[in-house]
Amino acid sequence: MGEKLERLKEHIGKVTDLQFAAAVLSWDQEVYMPENAVGPRSAQLATLSSMAHELFTSDTTAAMLEAAEAEVAGMDYDSDDASQVRVTRRIFDERTKIPTELVERESKATSEAFVAWRKAREADTYATFQPHLSELVDIQVEKAGYLGYEDHPYDALLNQFETGMKTAQVEALFNDLRTGLVPLVHEIAAQPPVDDSFLEEGKYDQQRQWDFTLLLLHDMGYDFTRGRQDKAPHPFTIEFGNSDVRVTTRLFDNRPQSAIFSTVHEGGHALYEMGSPDRFERTALAGGSTLGLHESQSRLWENQVARSLPFWRYYFPILRAFFPAQLQGISLEQFHRAINKVEPSLIRVEADEVTYNLHIFVRFELEKDLITGALKVADVPDAWNAKYEEYLGITPPNNALGCLQDIHWSHGTIGYFPTYSLGNLMSAQIYDMAREQIPGLEKGYTRGEFAPLLSWLREHVHSHGSKFTAPELMQREFGQTISAQPLLTYLREKYTTLYGL
């Protein structure tokens, strides 16, 4: 490696240290911080963020970047060195394009909006959140202008979370997906409902649930010498480098599947971060790539693996040993049907894998229209409800269960939702390749063997760190563009069997 690039990497290492330090403080805030420490913790986080931002967007970085660019000129696009410089440049440009004044205005507006959103959701009063959402939308439109775009202002926002994807591509993918999904949902709805009362109405000891989730993490290949699981009201994964990747889960007395799938989901994210190569540590290439790719990993483990029948052939007897009374008389097949119950519902985060993407379509379409001005902020509740009726056949009885349900908009986050569905699409594509290339893959699950899958994911996905965008990685590793068909085929096959369609 050249001397200029080496210097740039050292410099970026310090920025990364500050960001990881902030992440440790955030983790602590979510899981262990005493309640009255919120104020000082905010000050500490603000200082860390602003110092990291100043250091990263400094003239020093600009000069080091230019020097490094000259040094790697002509190198292979895929090489580590060229990628270091390219990815650092991309983030640098993104951060420096937006004026500090707008960053500060956004930060202030979102702080206020978040508080207003919480109150509005509690009191079910959209009107009190509406002016905040208006301001946030205006700021996002302004931001899109600074970030720049060719075709659609939403491109600029989407690009922050899913580099290299355009609104038109997402529209086309979502159209394909919707065309296949809607009839499937209707066919399933025509079948007799699945009985999951032994889960929903059961009482499952939380300590035993916890132990079971630790077993799952262990078996997936999660390395407890480089991570830990804690409890949090809203499960998340967070990393401070590839040697400290932590997950959280939440436990209820009933619905043990909540903790189980939440742990496996976060475990999928964590394995991606743990698989990032050591040589990328403390650089722009460290850790998982786009949000869509990240979600492909969590969803693959959660759905394709952990909601499969072979998986439960191994784990259901163990779960029954943990909960003999609660699962007495329940067969493997009954259990498998219960954890795969499809039911159009109002709340995205509780949706099954068939209807989940319908929730995303609603948000994506509203966001696009808000950004172009085709939809007025005042009309969001009506538009939301109409789309729920259209896609899911149900209308929210109030806005708390409707357009106020998600935290994202209150954070000023627009352009994020589509990455969930892109992740679902890629999870199916990647899983198809895994099944094709790993002999006896699912047979292995029946023995609790996941090492072949993890090795394969390490090789084809994790080992690239964040070197490639999602389209780049899908092309290089699998010769594919992102498409809807594999997910549709997977869902159609699985639910045809499950529901006897």
- Is-catalytic flag, 477? no
Cα atoms found within 13 Å of the Cα of residue 48, Cβ hemisphere only: 18
Among 36, 73, 151, 479, binds a copy of itself (CB under 8 A): 36
C-alpha–C-alpha distance, residues 145 and 78, integer Å: 30
Footprint on residues 269-288 left by a copy of itself (CB under 8 A): 281-282
Footprint on residues 280-339 left by a copy of itself (CB under 8 A): 281-282
**Region near a copy of itself per CB under 8 A, out of 56-64, 235-243, 437-445, 487-495:** 235-243
Q: Nearest approach, Cβ of 45 to a copy of itself (angstroms)?
A: 8
**Region near a copy of itself per CB under 8 A, out of 31-39, 94-102, 112-120, 263-271:** 31-39
Decide: is 40 part of the binding site for a copy of itself (CB under 8 A).
Answer: yes
DSSP letter assigned to residue 230: E
Angle between helix 380-392 and helix 356-372 axes, rounded to 10 deg: 150
Footprint on residues 450-489 left by a copy of itself (CB under 8 A): none
**Region near a copy of itself per CB under 8 A, out of 25-33, 67-75, 102-110, 293-301:** 25-33
Among 32, 77, 146, 252, binds a copy of itself (CB under 8 A): 32
**Residue 197: which residues within 8 A CB-CB, separation 6 or more?**
none
Question: How many CB atoms neighbour CB 210 within 10 A?
Answer: 16
Q: Nearest approach, Cβ of 463 to a copy of itself (angstroms)?
A: 19
- Could you give the dihedral angle defined by the CA atoms of residues 314, 320, 326 and 328, in that order, rounded to the nearest 10 degrees? 100
Q: Nearest approach, Cβ of 39 to a copy of itself (angstroms)?
A: 7
Tokens for 492?
Answer: 């159609």
Nearer to a copy of itself, 32 or 77 (CB): 32
- Number of residues counted as binding a copy of itself (CB under 8 A): 39
* Spatial CA neighbour of 258 closest among 250, 267, 270, 248: 250
Question: How many CB atoms neighbour CB 127 within 10 A?
Answer: 11
Nearer to a copy of itself, 152 or 282 (CB): 282
Among 5, 12, 48, 136, binds a copy of itself (CB under 8 A): 48
DSSP letter for each residue of 147-162: H--SS-HHHHHHHHHS
Nearer to a copy of itself, 241 or 486 (CB): 241
Among 3, 13, 172, 437, binds a copy of itself (CB under 8 A): 13
C-alpha–C-alpha distance, residues 187 and 184, integer Å: 5
Nearer to a copy of itself, 111 or 405 (CB): 111
Nearer to a copy of itself, 10 or 389 (CB): 10
Among 1, 37, 347, 501, binds a copy of itself (CB under 8 A): 37
**Residue 41: which residues within 8 A CB-CB, separation 6 or more?**
25, 29, 33
Question: How many CB atoms neighbour CB 342 within 10 A?
Answer: 22
CB 275 within 8 A of CB 458: yes
**Region near a copy of itself per CB under 8 A, out of 24-32, 174-182, 446-454, 474-482:** 24-32
Nearer to a copy of itself, 55 or 75 (CB): 55
Among 2, 7, 14, 109, binds a copy of itself (CB under 8 A): 14
Catalytic residue among 106, 162, 266, 302: 266
Decide: is 232 part of the binding site for a copy of itself (CB under 8 A).
Answer: no
Tokens for 124?
Answer: 């079910």
- Pairing mode, strands 237-239 and 245-249: antiparallel
Nearer to a copy of itself, 10 or 493 (CB): 10
- Pairing mode, strands 229-231 and 237-239: unpaired
Among 2, 7, 21, 97, binds a copy of itself (CB under 8 A): 21
CA 228 to each of CA 217, 218, 346, 395, 416: distance values in angstroms, whole numbers, following the listed order: 10, 11, 33, 40, 27
Footprint on residues 169-228 left by a copy of itself (CB under 8 A): 223-228
Decide: is 43 part of the binding site for a copy of itself (CB under 8 A).
Answer: yes
Footprint on residues 240-259 left by a copy of itself (CB under 8 A): 240-241, 243-244, 246
Decide: is 41 part of the binding site for a copy of itself (CB under 8 A).
Answer: yes
Backbone angles phi, psi at 82, to 5 degrees: -60, -40
* Residue 245: its H or E element: strand 245-249
| 3-class DSSP string for 126-138 | HHHHHHHHHHHHH
CB neighbour class for 150 (10 Å; exposed up to 12, middle 13-18, buried from 19): exposed
Decide: is 47 part of the binding site for a copy of itself (CB under 8 A).
Answer: yes
Q: Nearest approach, Cβ of 480 to a copy of itself (angstroms)?
A: 35
Question: How many CB atoms neighbour CB 35 within 10 A?
Answer: 5
Q: Which residues of this protein are in contact with a copy of itself, per CB under 8 A?
A: 13-14, 17-18, 20-22, 24-25, 28, 32-37, 39-41, 43-44, 46-48, 51, 223-228, 230, 240-241, 243-244, 246, 281-282
Give the residue numbers annotated as catalytic, written as ranges: 266
